[in-house]
Amino acid sequence: MKMTEQTFRIIKEQVERLTALPYGLYHKKFAGLDLKAMASQEEFEKLPFTDKSDLRDAYPLNIRAVPEREIVRIHSSSGTTGTPVIIPYTKKDVDDWAVMFARCYALAGITEEDRIQITPGKMCWLQ
């Protein structure tokens, strides 16, 4: 699928922002790549993308894209097949998720009369 110029520009800016952070997964993963010179979707598609092992290797919080003080919630996989994957969330992330879930529930026909149970695998506390 062909990206629009606007989509390519937004993605390029995001990748540049992530790699500029002094911590985290992408700073290391894209080290040595000249992302400012990336001029096309084809060049973007050649970047090394993230897989599950990258997420596990980033344990506990090296996947974050903000300073640690901005993280207000952490979700974790169970880790039953390896190191748990920790996903940190900012206040804006939590607020955005609330809006997205409300839309999904409404689309599924769920009303204020219904109850939903979300059952996590296990709790994980970081110290």
Domain positions in the chain:
1-49, 52-116
Amino acid at 14: Q
2-31 per-position pLDDT tens digit: 989 999 999 888 888 888 887 777 878 888
Work out the average pLDDT over 49-64. 82
Q: What is the DSSP string of the chain?
A: -PPPHHHHHHHHHHHHHHHHSSSSHHHHHTTT--GGG--SHHHHTTSPPP-HHHHHHTTTTTT-SS-GGGEEEEEE---TTSSPPEEEEEHHHHHHHHHHHHHHHHHTT--TT-------S------
pTM of the predicted model as reported, rounded to 2 decimal places: 0.64
61-119 per-position pLDDT tens digit: 888 888 889 999 988 887 787 788 888 999 999 999 999 999 999 999 999 899 887 77
User: CB count, 10 Å around CB of 33?
Assistant: 15
pLDDT at 120 over 70: no
The helix or strand, by DSSP H or E, that contains position 39, with its residue range, turns out to be none
- Reference 68, options 86, 52, 84; nearest CA is 86
